[in-house]
């Protein structure tokens, strides 16, 4: 025991010489307990960054006390209480016990720091922590309620979500103890470094944005985007249509990613196969399944990463809606910050969709607002996609001048026309030649396939080619209506248990595309790190295979879930398409003297 007392005396002298703020109350402690506690406090003091060492200006008494089982520590006015349940394991000297006790001391010291500086009330801290603004001109927020912070996935400790002050304390723990913290939560790491001072060296980080591809072809595949290859970020607006919940359009962001080997520049806009779209959706296909659920917040709102070409086809060919791609005036650093925030959202965010408050426009605005501090306080937020684009333009953030010359905008990829205009032109020519019975192409497609067939049988080579394209468009339209009916039947009601097994499996598998954290089974927190990527790759490969098989099975079995009218319509369109193909080959052979297969 003599040696123990000597070591304790030396430690106490060193502590006093450092003029530290923490003063151990030794009452009721054995020499070994005092020694272990003093070593704990020395370790905590050594890890404090520069600004937190200013706590030495006050005296904080440290005592072991009887606290509730779930409470490890408590920061009083001038004392720091530690739960005595941590003391015996600390004496035993296990690494886990020492880490738990050290984290507790640092957590409570963070509370003292927060009281002095009000860091957890700083608007920038709240942005980064997940207590987001509402997308209004006044950028209001309600902090302190668990439901207001929807960054619930891949959290190091769910306790951080209870209130901003606990988020600050929990993150100070990891900032000071986890060498990977700068890689897992890079934006918050930089913020804490600015407010508290630097810590010991962190592990090197990779800069790429890792995501789960939600595309139809590669759904479930793991992708990565190198920020240095992102030339620009555009505000991507899908124009509205007559549907009630699509009237004001849909807000997205387009990442203009350069092809490998191409230096960043305007030509990267033509590398469409490499571009990706950030889209807040409830499901992969659509946000709007039920108007009531959209109003009541019964849909999740999650960030999907989609191929640009798929988004173009989806809107221009199926929904017959144009797309406007308007560049945002962002610096290289701001583009990197948007990508960084995107990664945090993709892996951690599980929001709720409200048509009148937290819709695609609101979510897109919050992503920009939280990424780029200079946008805060400008009153740009809007809950309508068209309104958000207008306000971004008025604030000189969005460069809408690229749309001034429509023809040039099409050539340069700032606008993607709805195929509806193309179909209108095709129909106008066919109508003039064949005296078709309806005024518009939409009315023509609304006819039954049998009503369209007599005109098809009279078509010449030119009009037949036009009608073939329109019949293919009618087929896409009919298939979209079948999918919508299927979703309404099994998703918009509360009868998911009544859905066929293949539909339920598709829903379960699709969840991973917008909530990829589930692929990691709760391991780790924040942005996935290299030591988690192997497991992520393996799980995503299995998911991709399952999704592809399930989609094939769903397509094969879809006929049995259709109504008789839907089946008859699709069969009639198929018959019309085959008839047109046969007729066009015959006409071509007659005019060219060839018999085509």
CA distance 477 to 325: 25
pLDDT at 23 (0 to 100): 93
> For residue 109, how far is the Cα from the chain centroid?
33
Q: Which residues of 169-179 are buried (b: 16+ CB within 10 A; e: fewer)?
A: bbbbbbbbebe
pLDDT at 92 (0 to 100): 92
CA distance 435 to 198: 78
Q: How many residues are listed for the chain in this entry?
A: 597
239: CB partners within 8 A, 6+ apart: 249, 321, 322, 323, 324, 418
CA distance 80 to 439: 80
CA distance 459 to 228: 53
Asked whether 318 and 476 are in contact (CB, 8 A), the reply is yes
Asked whether 2 and 32 are in contact (CB, 8 A), the reply is no
Spatial CA neighbour of 42 closest among 92, 82, 102, 103: 102
Cβ atoms within 10 Å, residue 267: 12
pLDDT at 54 (0 to 100): 75
* Distances 489 to 129, 223, 290, 295, 494 between C-alpha atoms, Å: 38, 33, 11, 19, 9
Spatial CA neighbour of 239 closest among 89, 76, 416: 416
Asked whether 110 and 169 are in contact (CB, 8 A), the reply is yes
pLDDT at 287 (0 to 100): 37
CA distance 343 to 528: 9
pLDDT at 150 (0 to 100): 94
| 3-state SS class at 212 | strand
CA distance 369 to 371: 6
* Distances 464 to 19, 440, 590 between C-alpha atoms, Å: 91, 17, 14
Asked whether 544 and 218 are in contact (CB, 8 A), the reply is yes
Spans of all domains in the chain = 2-196, 209-417, 422-592
Rounded to the nearest 5 degrees, what angle is found at the Cα of 307, between the Cα atoms of 136 and 402? 60
Asked whether 114 and 344 are in contact (CB, 8 A), the reply is no
Parts of the chain with a pLDDT under 50? 1-20, 146, 284-290, 292, 294, 594-597
Beta-bridged to residue 235, according to DSSP, are: 253, 326
Q: What is the pLDDT of residues 283-307, one digit of tens each?
A: 544 434 445 454 555 678 889 999 9
CA distance 234 to 255: 7
443: CB partners within 8 A, 6+ apart: none
Q: What is the pLDDT of residues 379-388, one digit of tens each?
A: 788 889 999 9
Spatial CA neighbour of 379 closest among 371, 369, 370: 369
Could you please state the CATH topology (level 3) that the domain comprising 2-196 is classified under.
Answer: Collagenase (Catalytic Domain) (3.40.390)
Asked whether 276 and 305 are in contact (CB, 8 A), the reply is yes
């Amino acid at each position: 025991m003599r040696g123990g007392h000597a070591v304790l005396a030396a430690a106490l002298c060193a502590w006093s010489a450092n003029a530290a703020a923490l003063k151990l109350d030794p009452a009721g402690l054995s020499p070994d307990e005092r020694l272990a506690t003093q070593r704990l406090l020395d370790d905590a003091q050594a890890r404090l960054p520069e600004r937190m060492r200013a706590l030495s200006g006050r005296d904080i008494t440290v005592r072991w006390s009887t606290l509730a089982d779930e409470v490890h520590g408590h920061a009083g006015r001038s004392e720091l209480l530690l739960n005595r349940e941590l003391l015996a394991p600390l004496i035993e000297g296990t690494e886990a016990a020492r880490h738990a006790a050290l984290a507790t001391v640092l957590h409570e010291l963070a509370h003292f720091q927060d009281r002095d500086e009000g860091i957890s009330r700083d608007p920038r801290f709240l942005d980064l922590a997940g207590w987001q603004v509402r997308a209004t001109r006044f950028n209001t927020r309600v902090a302190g309620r668990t439901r207001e912070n929807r960054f619930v996935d891949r959290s190091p400790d769910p306790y951080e979500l209870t209130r901003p002050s606990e988020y600050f304390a929990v993150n100070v723990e990891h900032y000071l103890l986890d060498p990977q913290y700068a890689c897992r939560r890079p934006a918050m790491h930089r913020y804490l470094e600015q407010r508290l001072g630097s810590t010991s060296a962190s592990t090197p980080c990779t800069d790429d944005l890792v995501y789960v591809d939600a595309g139809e072809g590669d759904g479930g595949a793991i992708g990565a985007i190198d920020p240095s290859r992102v030339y620009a970020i555009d505000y991507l607006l899908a124009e509205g249509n007559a549907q009630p919940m699509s009237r004001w359009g849909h807000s997205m962001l387009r990442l203009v990613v350069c092809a490998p080997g191409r230096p960043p520049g305007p030509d990267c806009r033509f590398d469409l196969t490499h571009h990706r779209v950030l889209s807040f959706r409830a499901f992969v296909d659509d946000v709007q399944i039920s108007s009531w659920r959209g109003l009541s917040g019964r849909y999740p709102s999650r960030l999907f990463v989609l191929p640009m070409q798929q988004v173009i086809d989806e809107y221009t060919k199926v929904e017959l809606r144009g797309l406007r791609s308007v560049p945002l005036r962002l610096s290289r650093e701001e583009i990197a910050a948007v990508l960084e925030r995107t990664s945090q959202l993709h892996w951690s965010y599980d929001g709720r969709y409200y048509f009148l408050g937290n819709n695609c426009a609101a979510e897109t605005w919050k992503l920009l607002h939280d990424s780029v501090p200079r946008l805060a306080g400008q009153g740009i937020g809007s809950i309508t996609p068209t309104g958000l684009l207008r306000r971004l333009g008025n604030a000189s953030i969005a460069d809408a001048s690229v749309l001034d010359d429509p023809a040039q905008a099409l050539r340069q990829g700032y606008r993607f026309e709805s195929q509806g205009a193309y179909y209108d032109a095709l129909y106008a020519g066919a109508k003039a030649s064949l005296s078709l019975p309806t005024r518009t192409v939409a009315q023509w497609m609304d006819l039954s396939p049998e009503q369209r067939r007599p005109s098809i049988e009279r078509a010449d080579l030119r009009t037949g080619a036009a009608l073939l394209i329109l019949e293919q468009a009618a087929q896409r339209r009919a298939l979209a209506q079948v999918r919508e009916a299927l979703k309404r039947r099994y998703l918009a009601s509360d009868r998911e248990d009544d859905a066929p097994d293949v539909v339920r499996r598709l829903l379960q598998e699709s969840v991973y595309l917008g909530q990829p954290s589930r692929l990691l089974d709760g391991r780790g927190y924040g942005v996935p790190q290299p030591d988690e990527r192997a497991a992520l790759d393996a799980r995503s490969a299995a998911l991709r295979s399952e999704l592809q098989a399930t989609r094939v099975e769903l397509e094969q079995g879809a006929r049995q879930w259709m109504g008789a009218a839907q089946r008859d319509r699709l069969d009639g369109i198929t018959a019309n398409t085959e008839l047109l193909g046969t007729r066009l080959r015959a006409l071509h052979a007659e005019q060219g003297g060839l018999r085509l297969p």
